[in-house]
Structure 1
Amino acid sequence: MSSGILFEVDNHIARVTLDRPKALNSIDPEMDAALFEAWTEINSNPDIWVAVLGAAGEKAFCAGANVSGGTEGDGRRMALGGGLTGVGGPMLTLRKPLIAAVQGYAIGGGFELAMCADIIVAADNAQFGIPETKVGIIGEAGIMHRAIRQLPHHIAMALILTGERIDAQQAERYGLVNEIVPYEKLLETASSWADRIASASPLAVQAAKDAVLSRAGWPLDVALATRYEPIEAYANSADRIEGRAAFADKRAAQWSGR
C-alpha cells in the first residue's frame, strides 16, 4: 500500500485507517491512490468479507480533500476517496459491506466518504457538515446529492444552504448514523458491527448489498422484477449448501465465502 493510510486484514475483516491526523486526515493524491489500492484489494480478495473505515486521531475523521480528481498510477482520473465517492472521476463500487467509524470533524469530502459506508458508527464528538456555501466554493456536487438522499429533505437543505454542521446526536436522530458511543469505544463498536456481519454468509451479504443498492433509485415494481446475478450465482455456491446443512444440524455455519 502507498502511504497515507493503514491497511490490515484479520479474521475476514479489512481495516482501512486514514492516517494523516496532523492534516485532519484530509485526502491528498497519495492517500487517494492508497485508498484505491485498498478498495481494489477488498473487492478482489474472497477472504475479505467486510471492511471498516476509520481514522487516526481524535480530532477528525476527515476534513475533506486537499485536491479533487486525483490520478491512479497509470494516469487515469480517480474519484475522491480512492474512487468510492464518484466525485472527480469514475466511481468505484465496493461490493463488500463497509462500516465507517467517525470521530470529530467529518466535513466536505470527509462527510461524503462517511456517507459511502453501509453503516456509520459515530463517536459522541462527531460533527458532520457541508461547508461549501459558507466558504464560497462550489465544485463537484456529489456530497449534496448524497445528503438529500440520506437525510430528511429540509435537514439536508439546511446543511447545504447554511454550511453549518450537525452533531452526532442530531445525526442519529435524523437516521444518518446507526450508533453513538464514547470516542474510546469507537473502534471496538465498529469491530463488533463487522463481526456481526462476518458471522453471516459473505456471499449472501454481498448479493443482498448488490440487489438493494443497484435498484435503490428505481420504482418498486422494477426492483421486484429485476434478476440479480449475484443472487442467482449464490444458488450454486458452497455456502448455500453449508447454510442448509447447518440449519438442519442446528449448528453454526462454517462459511467459506465460495
Structure 2
Amino acid sequence: MTLVLNEEMAPGVGLLTLNRPDVRNALSFELRQQLIDALADFARNETIRCVVLTGGPDVFAAGADLKQLSRMGPIDMLEASPERYWQAISAFPKPLIAAVNGLALGGGFELVMHADIIVAGQSATFGLPEVKLGLLPGAGGTQRLPRAIGKSPAMRFLLTGDPIPAPLAAELGLLSDVVPDDQVLEAAREIASKIARRPPLAVRMIKQCVLNGADLPLDAGLEIERKSLQLLLASEDKAEGIAAFIEKRQAVFKGR
C-alpha cells in the first residue's frame, strides 16, 4: 500500500500526503520509511524547489502507531533505530511546509515541528500527550517545543499533555499562518510557489544558516551567515537577480 502519496502540486512545488486515513495517519515505521524515500526523491529532483507536507483535509497525524509500539521492547526499539527517520527529515535540504488540518498529536506534532513553515487550519489541534501513556515524546518534542515557544509554555503542555488549539499555537509563535480549514492547502501552495520562484541557492543557504546557527553562540552563527553570503556572490543567480532588478524585469533563476 502507498502510505505516502507524492505529486507536483504546482510548478516547482512537490506535495506529500500521508495516506493511512483509517488509523488517522498513525506513523508506522513503514509510513516513515516511505516518507523519507519520497523526500529523497524530491531532494534529487532539480525541478522541485519547495515541498508541502499534509495529512489530508481531516487529520494530519494522530501520533505513533501504538499497536506497533506496544509490541516493542527496548532492544526492539534500539534495533529499529527510529531516529534515522527523523534525522533524514531534518536533513532535507529544501524548504518544507507543513499544511495541517485536524489533529497533529505526538509524533504527528513532532513531524510538524520538523517543517520550516507551518500553516494550520483554524480548528487544527496540536499536542504531545505521551505523558498520559507513561511515556515522553521521543522524536524531539522535549527539545523542539521549548526552542519554538520557550521553556515555561512548553513545560506546561509537555507535563500535562493538554492540546494546543491552532489560535493559541499561533499566539505562542509556533505557526506561521492560521487560515480557514478549507484554505490550508491553498495557502501552503501559495507560499511554496512564491519560494519556488526565488533563487534556489539562496533559499538553500538561508535554511542552512537558520538551522545550523540556531543552537550556536551568536558570533558563530554570524560567521556561518557571512561565509554563506560570500559563496552566493559567486553564483549566476546573484548576477541575474541584480541585472533583473536594474533592468526592471522578472528574474529567471536557475540554481547556479
Q: Report TM bin, short chain.
A: 0.7 to 0.9
Q: Give the whole-Å Cα distance in 2 for the aligned partners of 1:48 and 1:108.
A: 29
Q: Give the whole-Å Cα distance in 1 for the aligned partners of 2:226 and 2:81.
A: 28
Corresponding residue of 2:3? 4
Corresponding residue of 1:137? 135
Q: Give the whole-Å Cα distance in 1 for the aligned partners of 2:226 and 2:37.
A: 27
C-alpha deviation, 1:233, in angstroms:
3.9
Corresponding residue of 1:109? 107
CA deviation map 1:144-197 (0-9, x unaligned): 111111113211101110011110110011011111111111111111111221
Corresponding residue of 1:167? 165
Q: Give the whole-Å Cα distance in 2 for the aligned partners of 1:37 and 1:63.
A: 21
Corresponding residue of 1:124? 122
Please state if 1:193 is matched with 2:191.
Answer: yes
Q: Give the whole-Å Cα distance in 1 for the aligned partners of 2:80 and 2:45.
A: 24
- Tell me the amino acid that sits aligned with residue 116 of structure 1: H
Q: Residues 89 and 114 of structure 2 are in contact (CA less than 8 Å); yes or no, is this contact kept in structure 1?
A: no
Give the SS at the match of 1:145. helix
Give the SS at the match of 2:60. strand
Corresponding residue of 1:72? none
Q: Which of 223, 226, 230 is equivalent to 1:225? A: 223
C-alpha deviation, 1:101, in angstroms:
0.4
- Tell me the amino acid that sits aligned with residue 240 of structure 1: K
Q: Give the whole-Å Cα distance in 2 for the aligned partners of 1:38 and 1:159.
A: 32
Please give the residue correspondences for 1:40-59 in structure 2 after superposition, counting only pairs within 5 Å: 40-58=40-58
Corresponding residue of 1:204? 202
Corresponding residue of 2:38? 38
Q: Give the whole-Å Cα distance in 2 for the aligned partners of 1:47 and 1:254.
A: 14
With normalisation by structure 1, the TM-score equals 0.87
Corresponding residue of 1:23? 23
Q: Give the whole-Å Cα distance in 2 for the aligned partners of 1:20 and 1:57.
A: 13
Q: Residues 99 and 118 of structure 1 are in contact (CA less than 8 Å); yes or no, is this contact kept in structure 2?
A: yes
Two-structure CA RMSD over aligned residues (Å):
2.2
Q: Give the whole-Å Cα distance in 1 for the aligned partners of 2:43 and 2:29.
A: 21
Structure with higher helix content: 2
Give the SS at the match of 1:191. helix
C-alpha deviation, 1:96, in angstroms:
0.6
Please state if 1:64 is matched with 2:63.
Answer: yes
- Tell me the amino acid that sits aligned with residue 185 of structure 2: L
- Tell me the amino acid that sits aligned with residue 25 of structure 1: N
CA deviation map 1:117-169 (0-9, x unaligned): 11111011111111111121236262111111111321110111001111011
C-alpha deviation, 1:91, in angstroms:
6.3
Q: Which moved more, 1:140-149 or 1:204-213?
A: 140-149
Q: Residues 99 and 119 of structure 1 are in contact (CA less than 8 Å); yes or no, is this contact kept in structure 2?
A: yes
Q: Residues 61 and 110 of structure 1 are in contact (CA less than 8 Å); yes or no, is this contact kept in structure 2?
A: yes
Q: Give the whole-Å Cα distance in 1 for the aligned partners of 2:205 and 2:80.
A: 28
Q: Give the whole-Å Cα distance in 1 for the aligned partners of 2:95 and 2:174.
A: 17
How many matched pairs?
245
Structure 1: runs of 5 or more not aligned: 70-75
Q: Give the whole-Å Cα distance in 2 for the aligned partners of 1:139 and 1:156.
A: 12
Q: Residues 25 and 56 of structure 1 are in contact (CA less than 8 Å); yes or no, is this contact kept in structure 2?
A: no
Corresponding residue of 1:73? none
